[in-house]
Structure 1
Amino acid sequence: MITPTISEDRGVIVFDFGGGISFEARHVRRHAVKGVIAELRVSDAGCEDTTVGRAWLALDDQAQRTRLLADLRSRDGKVPNWGDMLLLVADHLAQRADEAQAPAKGIRASEVKRRPVRWLWRSRIPAGRVSILAGDPDVGKSMITCKLAADISSGATWPDEGLAPRGRVAMVTAEDDLADTVAPRLAQHGADLDRILLIGPQDCGGYILPDGLVPLEERIGELQDSPGDPVLVVLDPLDVFVGRVDTHKAAEVRGAMAPLEALAQRTGATIIGILHLNKRSTETTALYRVGASLAFVAAARSVVVCGYDPEDHAELQHERRRIFTNLKGNLGPKRKALVYRIEDPGVVKWEGESDCSVSDLLTAGAQTKKGGTAVDEAKQFLGSLLSYGPMPANDILEQAKAAGISAATLRRAKQDMGVRAFRRGEEGQRGAGEWLWELGCDHWPEGEIDQRWAFCKERGAEVAECSCCHGPQPSPPDEWDGLCDVCRDGAPHQVNGTARMKARL
C-alpha cells in the first residue's frame, strides 16, 4: 500500500497517493450522531474527467463507504485498491477530528502563520467572516443585499473603488417570497441568476442553527469550484437563524454566533446577517441600537448600518436619500459613508460619499440631552435594552458593565425611571426562577393614555382612573384593586393598551 503525502491548506486536507490519484477532504468534524463526517473529492489525473468521485460521507458508516467505493470503481476501474485508500483516509480524518475536540494547548506567536485580511468589499465587508447589515424597517436592507449579491455574481464595480470578486451567492430568507420579490429584485440589479442559490421561507427551517450548520456548509461547498472561492451567504433576518436562544442574553447569542464565525473562516465564505435596529430611537450609543443584545455586534467583524439621511427633508419619505456606513469595522481603516436611493422598481442607486456620521444617522430626530450625566447615559442604556420588554436583571448588569456603566449608576437610573423588578419562577419551587426588569407605566408611548381616555368617552363606558398609569379602567368591578387591566398584567410598555381596551369593550 502506498503511503500518501498529506498536506493541508485553509482547512482542506489533501492525500496524494501518486500517479495522479488524490483525495481532498473538507469540512472535517465529529458529529454527535453520525460520527466523523467530511466532504470528499477523489481525483485521477489519468481520466478524462479528473474528478471521479465526490460525496458528503459519514466515515464510520459502512453503507456510505460501500456506495462511494462502488461509484469509484464504476468510473475508474483501473485502480485496484480504492478500498484501502479510503480506509487510510478515514482513519487519518478520525484522528484529526479527535484532536480538534481536545482542549487547545495554544501556539507561540512566533509560530503563527500570518496572512493579510481578505476583503469582499475593501474596508467595508471582510471576506471569510461574519458581518451584520442593520437598519430600521423600510430603509432597503433586503434590496441592498440583492444589490451586493448581483455585484458579486457578475463581478461588478463597487461604488467607491475596485471590482467585486466574481463569485457565487446563497440567499436564505425567512421573510421575502422568492418568486415575486427576491428573484425580480436580483434581475433588476443585473445579477447573473445562474450563480445565485435561493432558499425561501418554506425551506429555510433546515438552516436554523445549530443543526443548520451542516446543510449550510454543504451548500457553500457545492458553490465553490475550489477551496476558498468567493461565496456570499445572506441570512435574512439573522435572529431567526441563530436558533432557540434568548436574544437578550449575551452568553446565548455568543454561543450561537461563534460556530457561524468558525464556519465562515473554515470555508472562506462571507456571511452577512440582516438585523433590525431596536425600537429605542432616543438611544445615543450607536452600538446598542443593533438587535436585542450587544453580543451580535461583538461577534461580527463588521457591522454596516443604513438609514435615512438626516440632512434630506423631502416631504415624501420614499424620495429621501439614504446612508450606508460602517458602525464597526476593526479589520481595516474606516471609509466614508455612501449615499443611495431606492428607485422604482426597487433598485439601489449609489450617489457618492457623505460626511454623515453613524451617531447622526441613528439619532436623527431623537430628542437627547447633550452633555448628560452618567445617570442620563444609564437611562438611555436601560430604555434601549427594555424597549423589547422584560429582560433578566443579570443580563442587564452584564451588558451595563461591558458598556462602562457601574451597578450603582444603573440602579439609580432604574429608580429614576420607575423600572419594575419582578421574579419569574416555577410555581411551588422555592428559590426557582430569575429576576427580570421592565419599563414602568410612566414610559407608555406618547399619547397612548390620552387615546385610551378618548376611546372610553366615545363609547360612554363607565370608567375609573388607574392608580399606576392614570389611564382609564372601563367597567371596574365592585372589588377593584385600583389597577387597570394593562398594569395588573405587568405588560411591557410597548403593548398597545388601546387595542386591548377595544377588545374588552
Structure 2
Amino acid sequence: MEEIKQTKSSYHLINMADVIPKKVEWLWNPYIPLGKLTIVQGDPGEGKTTFVLQLAALLSRGEMLPCDDKEREPINIIYQTAEDGLEDTIKPRLLEAGADCSKIMVIDESQQELSMTDERLVMAIEETGAKLVILDPIQAYLGAEVDMHRANEIRPVLKRLGSIAEKYKCAIILIGHMNITSGSKSTYRGLGSIDFQATARSVLVVGRIKEDPTLRVIAHDKSSLAAEGTSIAFRLDADAGFTWEGRYDISVEELLSGDSRGQKTKDAKAFLTDILSDGQKSSKEIEELAKDKGIKKKTLFNAKRDMNIDSVKIGNQWFWML
C-alpha cells in the first residue's frame, strides 16, 4: 500500500471550544441571508427575473420587503445578466419598478465575459460595497471550462463564490432554470448538479398558479439557517403590471405539480366565514372543528390572518370573531 504523506504545515485541528458563534444576518429574513448563496429557480417564463428585479428596486430605495417590516437603508447592488439587454429590457423594468438606478451597477462584459471566479467580481464588490450580487442565469457565469453536471467541477466554483459572499457580507443570488422532469422532488429539478442546491443556504422556487395565470408564487424550497418562510404571491398583469399579493398558502411540491393551488386557504376562509357568521367561537372549538374537516392548523391561522379575524381573551379562553 502506498504510504500517505502528510506535512505538518497542511494539518490544522480546530477545537470547537475555540469557535466563536455568530448570529445569521439577513437581507430578507428568512429568504435571503447575507454572506451566503441563495438560488432562485423556476421554469422559463414564470417571473424569476421580474421578481428579483422588483426586490432589487425595493432594496435600492431602502423600502420594506414583502411580509417583512424591517426598516433598512438603501444598498448598492451588482446585477449581471447574460440573457436580457440592459437598454431595452433591464433598465425599463427597473424604472417601472421605481428603482434608484444609481444604486445598481453592472460589470461591463462587452470585451470579456464574467465568471463566478472572476477577480472583477471581487473588485466590484470592494469598490461599491454592494450588499447584493445577482447572477442571471447560473450556467452563464460558471466559466467555459466548467461542466454544470459534474460535482467535482461545480464544488470549487461555488466554494469560492460562497467565500466571497462571506468575506464581504453580501448576499449572492443565482437565478436558474428548472429541468422538465415531472413528478420529481423540487430538489432534483434544478438544472445541473445537485451540488447547486446543496451548497446554497436558501432555495426559492417561482411558479405560476394554473387557475389564475397572472398569479405567481415564491415558495421556500430549502432553508438551512432558519425555518422556511411562508410562500409569497405576486401578480403579473398586462394592464396593471406588477403587484405584490402577500402570503399564499401553498407548498413547493403543490406549486410544481399543480395540485391544490391555493384551494386550502380558500376552504379555510369559507370554513371560518361560516362558523363565525353567528358570533364568536372559542379558538379551541374552532381548531377542533377545522381538524375534523382536514384543515391544518397552519392553514387555519393563515386564513385567520388574511381575514383580519380578531382574538379576544375572555376568562381563561381565547375567542375568535369576525
Q: Could you tell me the TM-score, scaled by structure 2's length?
A: 0.73
Within the candidate set 100, 103, 121, 1:216 is matched to 121
Q: Relative to structure 1, is the Cα distance of residues 108 and 195 closer, same or farther in structure 2, using a 3 angstrom cutoff?
A: same
Establish whether residue 125 from structure 1 lines up as the match of residue 125 from structure 2: no
State the shift of 1:242 in Å: 1.3
2:216–2:235: 8 Å Cα contact kept in structure 1? yes
| Deviation per residue, 1:349-384 (Å, 9 max, x gap) | 21011110011112227xxxxxxxxxxxxxxxxxxx
Q: Relative to structure 1, is the Cα distance of residues 347 and 131 closer, same or farther in structure 2, using a 3 angstrom cutoff?
A: farther
Letter in 2 for 1:232: L
Moved more, 238-247 or 127-136: 238-247
Alignment of 1:28-427 (within 5 A): 103=10, 105-163=12-70, 164-199=72-107, 202=110, 205=113, 207-210=114-117, 212=118, 214-224=119-129, 231-243=131-143, 244-283=145-184, 285-309=185-209, 312-314=210-212, 317=213, 319=214, 321-344=215-238, 347-364=241-258
1:178–1:198: 8 Å Cα contact kept in structure 2? no
Hey, what does 2:271 align to over in structure 1?
A: none
The share of aligned pairs that are identical, in percent, is 33
Letter in 1 for 2:195: A
Distance 1:264 1:345 in 2: 38
Distance 2:111 2:172 in 1: 19
Distance 2:168 2:149 in 1: 29
2:55–2:65: 8 Å Cα contact kept in structure 1? no
**Structure 2 stretches of 5 or more lacking a match?**
1-8, 260-322
Distance 1:346 1:256 in 2: 41
SS at match of 2:106: strand
SS at match of 2:57: helix
Distance 1:336 1:263 in 2: 29
State the shift of 1:300 in Å: 0.7
State the shift of 1:104 in Å: 5.6
State the shift of 1:187 in Å: 1.1
State the shift of 1:178 in Å: 0.3
Q: Which has the higher contact order (CA 8 A, sep 6+)?
A: 2
**Structure 1 stretches of 5 or more lacking a match?**
1-101, 225-229, 366-505
2:28–2:68: 8 Å Cα contact kept in structure 1? no
Distance 1:176 1:326 in 2: 26
Letter in 2 for 1:113: I
Q: Relative to structure 1, is the Cα distance of residues 202 and 104 closer, same or farther in structure 2, using a 3 angstrom cutoff?
A: farther
Distance 2:74 2:112 in 1: 25
| Deviation per residue, 1:136-158 (Å, 9 max, x gap) | 11111111111111111111111
Across the two proteins, how many residue pairs are aligned to each other?
Answer: 249
| Deviation per residue, 1:60-82 (Å, 9 max, x gap) | xxxxxxxxxxxxxxxxxxxxxxx
Distance 1:273 1:346 in 2: 28
1:177–1:200: 8 Å Cα contact kept in structure 2? no
| Deviation per residue, 1:159-196 (Å, 9 max, x gap) | 10223552100001111100011111111111111111
